[in-house]
């Protein structure tokens, strides 16, 4: 299988898989099982980002990574907003296992201030938004630097979203492609 499971034990990250909880924009769990997977090539870039963050005294918290195509339809049917969600007919980088939603965490386990919560579908979430505090701007720039240095591309509308370049060359995957489903 081309997907690698990401766990705190194997990667030294913390997981807060939002779509397995009610703490997401739908208000209810989308995944029945909280799990985190990435394509093996994305895993290489994630490991680089983890190392770079660690050198600076930070760690990474992941909100979402591989998202089964079935889940993309659930999200799209709830909020069909192409500024923040990929139309499932063309496919999301998440449904290809080559995108990750994340933040930085300090040595005390606190999320760095980023100006909005994860999945805040508002222009305030855009990279370069100047209405957020200077601290949040600095933290977003730090995350952007770590992730791009590790080989990730960014999505300008979401400070938390990173994906591999040329993400469309990877095939769309569904829940049945996992050894144990999430849906």
Residue 135 a catalytic site member: no
d(CA 53, CA 147) in angstroms, rounded, equals: 9
Long-range (24+ apart) CB contacts under 8 A made by 138-141 are: 139/104, 139/112, 139/113, 139/114, 140/114, 140/115
**Alpha carbons 103 and 61: distance in angstroms, whole number:** 5
Q: Which of 41, 113, 135, 158 is catalytic?
A: 158
- CA-to-CA distance for 18 and 122, rounded, in angstroms? 18
Q: For tokens 């100006």, what's the residue?
A: 115
Report CA torsion sign: 60, 62, 63, 69: positive
User: How does strand 99-105 pair with strand 59-64?
Assistant: antiparallel
Q: What are the residue numbers of the active site? A: 158
């Amino acid at each position: 299988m081309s997907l690698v499971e990401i766990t705190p034990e194997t990667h030294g990250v913390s997981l807060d898989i939002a779509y397995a909880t009610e703490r997401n924009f739908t208000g209810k769990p989308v995944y029945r099982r909280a799990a985190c997977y990435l394509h093996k090539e994305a895993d290489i870039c994630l490991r680089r980002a983890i190392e770079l963050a660690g050198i600076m005294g930070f760690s990474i918290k992941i909100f979402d990574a591989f998202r089964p195509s079935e889940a993309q339809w659930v999200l799209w049917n709830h909020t069909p907003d192409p500024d923040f969600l990929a139309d499932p007919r063309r496919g999301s980088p998440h449904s290809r296992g080559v995108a990750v939603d994340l933040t930085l965490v300090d040595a005390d386990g606190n999320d760095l201030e980023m100006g909005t919560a994860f999945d805040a579908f508002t222009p305030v979430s855009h990279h370069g938004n100047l209405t957020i505090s200077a601290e949040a701007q600095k933290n977003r720039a730090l995350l952007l630097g770590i992730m791009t240095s590790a080989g990730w591309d960014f999505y300008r509308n979401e400070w938390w979203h990173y994906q591999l370049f040329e993400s469309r060359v990877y095939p769309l995957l569904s829940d049945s492609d996992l050894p144990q489903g999430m849906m």
